[in-house]
Structure 1
Amino acid sequence: MADNSSGNLTAELAELDFAAVSPEEFARTVKGLSPKQLGEVMHGELRSRVLSEVFGRMKQQFRPEAAGQLTALIRWKITGDSEVVYETSIDRGTCAVGEGRSEAEPRTTLVMGDAEFLKLVSGNGNPVTMFMMRKLKVVGDVGLAAGLTRYFDIPKA
């Protein structure tokens, strides 16, 4: 008999109002799912909603006092059904986030799959470990990439 838990999980998540979910609740949800389940969730409209909400909250989670005078463009390439690109621009205490690839040259580009992205932004994945295990590819300033988590309030599950 087939296990239908993934289908039920996807249906449950599709009904979820992501705007009403706290970062901590999101982190707990991600922590409770296997990489396979995370991959199964990230399809179609649900994937777009999840990515939109995560990147939409990035400005709120930004810690300007930690960033100080840092100026950097971070490009995020999330692979999966299709490649999605977002950019985070940090400029001396401000943070802007946009969908799509700009003409500007990023200081660092992070490339990862859907499951790895969700683990990273929910505090359930260690970026250094992910890099060493080739689950996260970094192009450009590796030092900036390694320290990105200090510029944002990352939830704890």
Structure 2
Amino acid sequence: MAVKETLETLKEKMNSNPEGIQGLNTTYQFDLTGTDEGIYQIKFEDGQVEYVLGETYEPKCTLALSDANFLKLVAGKLNPTMAFMGGKLKIKGEMGLALKLQNVLKNYQ
């Protein structure tokens, strides 16, 4: 499954069952390399999620990784801490938000 389809599915899951994202008001940016290379943003606001292509919003946390590792991350098949330590994942911005994202994704796997 490609990145766009994965994000669309994730958005639908989160918006139809927003308990796991309550209180999260921030924007994450994913700088992806690989086949689906590009900049993707996920914005959480008031229990709703939207995703956009490109730099539309000011991200509080940016994660740089390959598209393949992004798909593994969303599916729960990539340990973000190990990926970060191994150089497969780079994080800019608020590190605490990266940890929060891991917990949010677990709610929707």
Please give the TM-score of this superposition, normalised by the length of structure 2.
0.84
Q: Which residue among 3, 7, 11 is the counterpart of 1:59? A: 11
Displacement of 1:61 in angstroms is 3.0
**Which amino acid is the alignment partner of residue 66 of structure 1?**
G
**Which amino acid is the alignment partner of residue 70 of structure 2?**
F
Higher helix proportion (structure 1 or 2): 1
Displacement of 1:149 in angstroms is 2.6
Identify the residue that residue 101 of structure 1 maps to in structure 2: 55
Displacement of 1:111 in angstroms is 0.4
Displacement of 1:82 in angstroms is 7.0
- Give 1 or 2 for the bigger CA radius of gyration: 1
Identify the residue that residue 30 of structure 2 maps to in structure 1: 76
Q: Is the 8 A contact 1:58 1:97 kept in 2?
A: no
Q: Is the 8 A contact 2:35 2:67 kept in 1?
A: no
Q: How many residues matched?
A: 106
Looking at structure 1, the residues matched to 51 and 68 of structure 2 have their Cα atoms a distance apart, in angstroms, of 21
Looking at structure 1, the residues matched to 12 and 102 of structure 2 have their Cα atoms a distance apart, in angstroms, of 14
Q: Which ranges of structure 2 fall in alignment gaps of 5 or more residues?
A: none
* Secondary structure of 1:112 counterpart: strand
Q: Superposition RMSD on alpha carbons, in Å? A: 1.8
Q: Is the 8 A contact 2:28 2:43 kept in 1?
A: yes
Q: Is the 8 A contact 2:60 2:94 kept in 1?
A: yes
Q: Which ranges of structure 1 fall in alignment gaps of 5 or more residues?
A: 1-17, 19-49
